[in-house]
Structure 1
Amino acid sequence: MTTINAATYPIHFDEKAYNELTSLISKKNYSSIFILVDDNTLEHCYPRFMQLFATDKPIEVIQIDAGEIHKNIETCMGVWNVMTELGADRKSLLITLGGGVITDLGGFVASTFKRGIDFVNIPTTLLSMVDASVGGKTGVDLGVLKNQIGVFANPEMIVIDAEYLHTVSTREIRSGTAEIIKYGMTHDIRLFNEIKDNDQVNIVDLIHRSIEIKNEVVLEDPKEQDIRKVLNWGHTIGHGVESYFLENPKKEALTHGEAIAIGMVCEAYLSSEILGFPEEKVSEIKEAIIKIYGKIAIEKNDFKAILELMKHDKKNVAGEINFVLLKDYEDFKINCKASEELIKKSLAFYNA
């Protein structure tokens, strides 16, 4: 697959990407290299990485616990302390080897350590390949509130190696597929059609196009002042659902993609009510999402708590919840408002 050039960094693909990484390290003459992993990527991904990566620089591996519940400032403090103890300086490089938690948290750690050191993202899950690692967003959660603390900071390079997808579960692949569906509905309907019409889709073929779309949007609006908000299609309600299921001991935590999939169904309903998005397409979205992700029980008693969590969404201004909604596939509008009653109706629609 051909290299995609972002604003200040390249996105390289397949095994040749490791040669580019070696060249970068040689050119920038880093003093030391730190590799951030979690329990899973240390076991399943690190051996492949070391097989393909060559350097004479000293390497230190820093391991954190896997999972969204560890994506917080306490984990960052642990990593900063270890880097300090191991003698990291402003000429050190941090390589993130993992999924969305590792790339988000690792980028934030690097961009704030000694006021900023270089980092390289090597995403190992579908979600992090097509979304989390690309676009310069870094950060951590504040309690159950998603990505409340962070900065915009670009990596020096991104390495996309689809072989790492063999190390993740089918559920994680489905989770990442939700972001590809998002790009399909907002920018290239072929992606959505490919997924909904085929039981056995070759996800690898869709990765490059998904990254192209995200990169095009980010190049136009790097700091999410305007058009980049479209990348939050399904995320306003989806993040509320994800946070609620994470904090409620009576609920089983959802993956990010499972929650965003629910959000897309609800926001398709809002799109129909507010912008006239065709009802048959709302039904098409709901049917496809439930076929792929199954049906998650969201009780009427859950609606109020989900709504409260949505009020912390980063797109909100002056306490008003802002949505990205569809007029049609590939035709969207940002900064849309919806009443609390209508939001509850959208959750009821998903439930029905």
Structure 2
Amino acid sequence: MTSLCSPPVESSVPPPRTSAPRPLIPPPLLPDPLDLSFPLAPCSLQTPIPPPPPLPPPPATVAAPPLVYGLEKHQLLKEALEKASPNPKGREDVKRLLKLHKDRFRSDLQWILSCADLPSLIQEGPQCGLVALWMAGALLSPPSGVPLETLVQVAMDRGYTAQGEMFSVADMGRLAQETLGCQAELLRNGLGGPNRDLVLQHLLTGHPLLIPYDEDFNHEPCKRRGHKAHWAVSAGVLLGVQVVPSLGYAEDPELPGLFHPMPSMPCQPPPLPKENTSGTIFLLCKQGKSWHYQLWDYDQVQESNLQLTDFSPSRAADGRDDSHISAALRRRYCFPAHVREEETEPQECKSCAQGHNRARPHPHATWL
């Protein structure tokens, strides 16, 4: 029995537990996709594509260069020669040439060599005459002479050439006098007769000689009536003599019987070979298709120079306008030389078909 005032009996079931309240954290705000103030990752797909660069301006319209007869062939030749060997030094090249041709020299004679050091230049297109003139100019006006481009431009401005070729030695002489500041003398009646001694004395003093001739396959003179007309320049001569003067000459240590003038001593002029003595005179020449000197028999050069009468049929039949070609190619040559300035007098030009006058030096002009 229980008392009414007894305490209530406690329940054995525990009351339910309530968790403590957690703080409320708002979620992070996403960046506004239109807000470009935030840098975007380089690989983001939202990286804007830059605008394309502006188009380059159209190339300027340049007229095609004129077609020059034979230019491609000469450029290929020039590249091949430049790859084959460098430009040889003059003395070494001359000595190589003499050793190569020593069997051509008469053993009963002694030989005197006088040769100036000509530079070499390979022509591009039909520029053989202007290239020969450039070589002569480099010898007359060292160290580099007059640029070839100047010779070409003046020749074209004066109407002497259309594509670089020179058919008139009268024009060549005028061009030499204007551009090189020298006197150019045109010799008539070939390399023989009284002109022979004049030419030899000219070369022995170290001055150049420009010679038109017919070119064979090996660049030596031949006779094709002008169909293979070409220009060469000579600044050296090899003379076969009975006795070498005792004053001013020294024998070559490598080539017995060959004598050179001694530059530091006065030199007695050598005796010139007599007329009609073949194999006693050789010219050392260069032309625009080779770096090297060439040794040509004087009589062979004379015969080639005398028969330049016709124009190449292959060139005449190629359809090009060759109305500028002068008729003065036949039987002419010229050589520039240093002389003192002389007055000139006009004289009708009989060496070309252009009907103009040329200046001719007075006969008393003195060679140096």
State whether TM-score is above 0.5. no
Q: TM-score, normalised by structure 2?
A: 0.22
Query: More helix per residue: 1 or 2?
Result: 1
Q: TM-score, normalised by structure 1?
A: 0.23
Greater RCO (Cα-Cα under 8 Å, separation 6 or more): 2
